[in-house]
Structure 1
Amino acid sequence: MGKMNVTSDQMLGLFAEMVLDEALRKYREQTLYREIDAALAKGDEASFIALTTELNSLRSLGK
């Protein structure tokens, strides 16, 4: 029984890590959208390009 609990604890830990990673990714994506909107409003092309590049990278990791 002890080995079963360790395996179960490891699986729960892995699941918790996956949930946290997804929440952080979504939060960063939302932040990037706001920053991209601000860069567009200011006409800051360099920031827009950098932010959209990061957003695209983040999206490709999430797939």
Structure 2
Amino acid sequence: MDKMKVTYEAMLGLAAELVLDEAVLKFKTEKLSKAIDEALACGDEDTFYRLVKQLNELKA
């Protein structure tokens, strides 16, 4: 029974880690998207390209 409990706890830990990773990815993606929109609105080409590169690296 102890082995099953350890396995179950490990699985719960992995599931929690996946949920957290997904939430962090979503947060970073949204933050970069907003910053990209702002750079476009301001006509800041250098910042736009830098942020798009970061977003693409994040999605890869």
Shorter-chain TM-score range = over 0.9
Identical residues among aligned pairs (%): 52
1:41 match: 41
CA RMSD of aligned residues (A): 0.7
TM-score normalised to structure 1 length: 0.90
Amino acid at match of 2:46: A
Amino acid at match of 2:7: T
Q: CA deviation at 1:7?
A: 0.8
Q: CA deviation at 1:26?
A: 0.6
Matches within 5 A, 1:48-59: 48-59=48-59
Q: Distance in 2 between matches of 1:59 and 1:29?
A: 8
TM-score normalised to structure 2 length: 0.94
